Every structure is written in C-alpha cells, then in structure tokens.
Amino acid sequence: PTCLVWFKSDLRVRDNPALYAATTFEPGTANINSGMKQIRVGGSATTAAASASNLPVIALFLINVAEWALHDMAPLRADFILRNLECLKHELAQLHIPLIVRVVEPDDAANHIEDRHHPVAAPTAVLEVARRVHARHVFFNREFEVDETRRDKATQHMLEADGRTVHTFQDQCVMDPGSVRTKEGKVYKVYSMFRTTWITHVVRDRMWDKLTPDPRPNPKGACGAGSAVAAYLARWSEVPTQLAGDVLRVDPAQAILARTHFPAGEAEAHARLATFLADRSPMYTTHRDLVAQAGTSSLSPYLSSGILTTRQALHAAMRANNGRIEGGSAGLAKWISELVWREFYRHILVAFPHVCKHQPFKPEYKNVPWLNDPLAFDAWTRGRTGYPIVDAGMRQLNTLGWMHNRCRMITAMFLTKHLLHDWRRGEHYFMQHLIDGDFANNNGGWQWSASSGVDPQPYFRIFNPLLQSQKCDPDGTYIRHWVPELTHLHGKALHNPHAELPAAEFARLGYPTPIVDHKFARQRCLKAFKTALGKM
Ligand code: FAD
C-alpha cells in the first residue's frame, strides 16, 4: 500500500501539512484529521530517512479544464500553475516522491453527473488514481469555496466508501476559519474588529510560529520500479505545458511577459518575500498606493496558488519585525494587516457561503437597478473609458494579468458606481484575467467596491477618478506607461486630457472622450442606490 497526497492550491513542499503528514504517517497510528496543532517550528527533516514503517508517498495533481473554466480561471493563471507544477515535480523528486499529473477527462464524470455545477470528475479521478497506485490513505488540504468544499467532501466519501482512509488539513489560513469570533461567539463582519481579535489569538497561540516541518523523503525506489504502479506513474508523469497554449488559449507574448514578471517556484516566492521585507517594506506605508512604484510585494500569485502560505509570510514578517505583529516597523505592521484582509475574506466566505453563489454579502443590495450597458462594459474592459487612470489599470490587467491594488479599487468602483454595471460582471472579468485570481479576495474586493460587501461605509463612498489619479500617480509615470496615446502629456492634461486640452489637440490623441461625466455619474449612482435601499 501507499499514501497519496492530492495537491490543489498548495503547490509547495514547505509548510504543507498534508504532504508532511503523509511522509510521516505510520499505519496503525491514530487518525490525524485533527490538523497540525502538535507541530513545532520549522523542523528541517528533509535529510532524515523515513522510518521503515512509513508507506511510500505518491503525489497527485489533477488538471480539470472543465472545472477551471467553470470557475473563470485566467489562462495566465493556468499557465502559472502548470509552470509551478514543473517546479513542484522537481522538489518532490528530490524527496523521491513521484508526481502524477492526471488530466481529467469529461468521461471521468460520466457516471456521476447529478448536478452540472458540481465538478464530480475530480472525486472519480482521485479514486481511480488511488486504486491504481494502491493508496490506502489519501491526504489533502481542504479548500473553502462552496464548489470546492462539495468536491472535497464528495472525494472523501467516495474514497471512504472504497475502504480508504482520508486525512484532511487546513493550510489556507493562519487561524482556522470560524475560530475568530466575538465574545458572544458571533462572526465578525467588520475587518477592523476581526483584525484586533485575530491578532490576539495569533499572539496568544503563537500561530505565526507553527510552521509545518519539512516533509521526509521516500526511501529510494519505494514506488516499486518495474511494477504496474511504476508503469502508471510513468504514464502520468509529464506536466502538459503545451495545454496552456492549446486548450487554455494563452497568448504566447503575454505568457513570456508573465513568466518574466512572475517566475515559478517556491524558491522564487521566498526570494521575493525576503527582498520585499529587507528592502521595500520600510517604504510600504508611504509607497503602497503609488501605482508606478514597486511599493508592494507582488506576492499575490504565489499566495493564491499556494506556492507560499500566509503563515510563512506572517512568520517571516514578524521575524523581520523582531517578533512583533503590531508596532515596530510601521511598514511591516501595515503589510501584516494586509495579510489579515486575506484571512478575513476567507473567514467571511466560510461564515457566509451565499457570497459564493453570486449573492451580495449585504442582501439589501440585491435590487440595485444596474444599467449593464454592453458598450460601456466593453469600453471598460478594453481600457477605453476616457479616464486615463481607469484605462491604465485595465490595460495593465489585460497585458500582465496583474493590477495594482489601488487601481483594482478605482476600476472596480468606476464600473459599479460610474457605469452602474453589476459588480458580478466585473468580478468574472477580473477572474478571467488575473494571474493571482483568488475567489475570496476577488469577490471581497468587488463587493467592497460595490458597497454590497464588508465596507462599513455605505453606498456613498464613490471615488473621484481624477483625484485618485493625481494622488496615486502624481507624476503620471503609470499612465504614460500603460496608455501610450498620452505619453507626451504632463500635469493635469495627463490625468484629464479631455477637459484640459484644446479640442483639436485632444482629437489628435486618438484617445476616447470620457464615457460619462463624473458629477452626473455620481448623482445617478446615489439615486440608484438610494432607490434600491428604499431611501428615496
Ligand atoms: P501586498 O500589498 O504586498 O499585500 C500582501 C498580500 O496581502 C497580497 O499578496 C494579498 O494576498 C494580501 N492582500 C493585500 N491586499 C489585500 C486585499 N485588499 N484583500 C485581500 N488580500 C489582500 N487579491 C488576490 O490575491 N486575488 C484576487 O483575485 C484579487 N482581486 C481583487 C479584486 C478587487 C476589485 C480588489 C479591490 C482587490 C483584489 N485583490 C485580490 C486584493 C489586492 O488587490 C491584491 O491582493 C494585491 O494587489 C496583490 O498585490 P501584492 O501581492 O503586491 O500585495
């Protein structure tokens, strides 16, 4: 028999509770579903030999194109995942752990389609692999979105019904979702209050310090060279990198750019983290909203695909801050508080699963009379709204698969408030293009921008795109880079060319007139939201 580790959005070997547990699992010991509470700090066990009683470990990753499409996965993100799989395969090979990369065929689900939206192909495929490699024990880290939870549970049931044991773990958050509550046991709906209690728990239980030890290697040849298992492993050992181009339609030029900006691998993620903490974190408070600067960590793709954990990021940041979570370096403390947003949105998702079902977090916002003008949406997606900062942001997204946080807020609010377009269309568009696409953060960010989410400020928070532009791109470097029609402009003309330039000069730019007047749009938005909320 063997142990099978099913990798999903946890494409790393370090701080990976499911992988560690599989490599240290001894048959006959107690069930370890309880999680990793017993684990000490950063034990480096990679060179230790596995005990003779350990079972050989085999790793699995499923490429489920249908599921990826159902969840709007961006081709660049799929490409990023495939690139990281190559790195993971290499890391696992150092541990003598073979990686099966199984492409899920629609046939895998043929006998199980009860619900079109339930990606049942995955459980069937995991079961098939478990049978082929004689895996008596299957290990995986849980995911929290509604579809993913159902998929994980269905997989567990199917495996258990087949006589296998399943061991699952929580690796997505520092604090288990649901564990941070008010004194009355209620779930927090406001970030600042969540953050205070979260910090108390993390410090009290030293959660930031509880990194999972490194996994142990398989003994050499543990997976039976020459056996049927070995033949199966050989058949599914290649990462089908060409899939990104053939099936997922990654634009080759874009892929090259994304590969330069976001190289794959755990080593890259840790190097990025170390460089950010050492060199750029001191300026984080002052530079994080300056969109032309590399003022943020750009670690989001690595966190979203689990190349790096939030706990690793927190651990490193706190070490850099002399063990402090608050106080000390203002930049580090602020950066940690951004990691808490990530945690908060996951806690929200688990406590209020209706946000996974295209519903507003605040139900009273469900009747906003969206205009949903298709031409306006098209102009927004192409970066042709006539508002340079909005257009620059959208073009950055379309080109790189990544957008600065400040511009995500500006563009999202522009779509929902200025164009009165349903936030769900914007949420999907972002997901279809982001290399760091992450349901909880993206949904949280969109709902925050549309005022239907966790922002305690109600609907009347409406960014003025011109003021935002002057604040976050004061010398216009970002706009000039992403909107080449405006490269030669400076000062106010760059931020607002239509209003500032003579008509003839503006006409020569080949740049669109503003799609909507700011003051008019603001009034229209206020009226629409008030009507929907019964305040008119
Ligand atoms: P840093 O400033 O270095 O922050 C470090 C990490 O903290 C980030 O990598 C991220 O994991 C987390 N973080 C920072 N800000 C936020 C935030 N506001 N909410 C949640 N987590 C945060 N983030 C994603 O990872 N995936 C998404 O799909 C996504 N969609 C978004 C959509 C909208 C409309 C908005 C407003 C925000 C969205 N965000 C998303 C959050 C944020 O924009 C990105 O996490 C951030 O820009 C990533 O850059 P960074 O890694 O340099 O961030």
Is 485 designated active site?
no
pLDDT of 112 above 70: no
Rounded to an integer, what distance in angstroms lies between the CA atom of residue 340 and that of residue 352? 18
Report how far ligand 1's centroid is from the alpha carbon of 478 (Å): 19
pLDDT of 33 above 50: no
Q: Whose CA is nearest to atom 8 of ligand 1?
A: 300
Q: Would you state the structure tokens that stand for residue 165, as one six-digit string?
A: 């044991």
* 43-52, 222-231, 525-534: segment of lowest average pLDDT: 43-52
- Of 154, 399, 384, the closest CA to residue 262 belongs to 399
Q: Whose CA is nearest to atom 50 of ligand 1?
A: 298
Is 341 designated active site?
yes
Q: Which atom of ligand 1 is nearest to the CA of 426?
A: 34
The mean pLDDT value for 207-217 works out to 96
Is 67 designated active site?
no
Return the pLDDT at 225.
Answer: 58
Is 338 designated active site?
yes
Task: Give the tens place of pLDDT for each residue, 276-309.
Answer: 999 999 999 999 999 999 999 999 999 999 999 9
Q: Would you state the structure tokens that stand for residue 127, as one six-digit string?
A: 């079961």
Report how far ligand 1's centroid is from the alpha carbon of 292 (Å): 16
Q: Do 453 and 361 touch, CB atoms closer than 8 A?
A: yes
Return the pLDDT at 66.
Answer: 84
Which residues have C-beta within 8 Å of that of residue 479, sequence separation ≥ 6?
388, 389, 392, 469, 473, 486, 494, 495
The mean pLDDT value for 110-125 works out to 61
Angle (nearest 5°) at CA 389 between 383 and 390 = 40
Residue of 77, 287, 304, 338 with the most ligand 1 atoms within 8 Å of its CB, for mutation:
338
Task: Give the tens place of pLDDT for each residue, 325-383.
Answer: 999 999 999 999 999 999 999 999 999 999 999 999 999 999 999 999 999 999 999 99
Angle (nearest 5°) at CA 421 between 419 and 422 = 160
Is the ipTM value over 0.85, yes or no? yes
Other CB atoms within 10 Å distance of the CB of residue 237: 13
pLDDT of 47 above 50: no
Average pLDDT score over the chain: 91
Return the pLDDT at 235.
Answer: 87
Complete domains list, the chain, with CATH? 2-171 (3.40.50.620), 172-212+249-351 (1.25.40.80), 363-532 (1.10.579.10)
Confidence band of 50 (pLDDT split at 50, 70, 90): low
The H helix count followed by the E strand count for the chain is 25, 5
Confidence band of 319 (pLDDT split at 50, 70, 90): very high
Q: Which atom of ligand 1 is nearest to the CA of 300?
A: 9
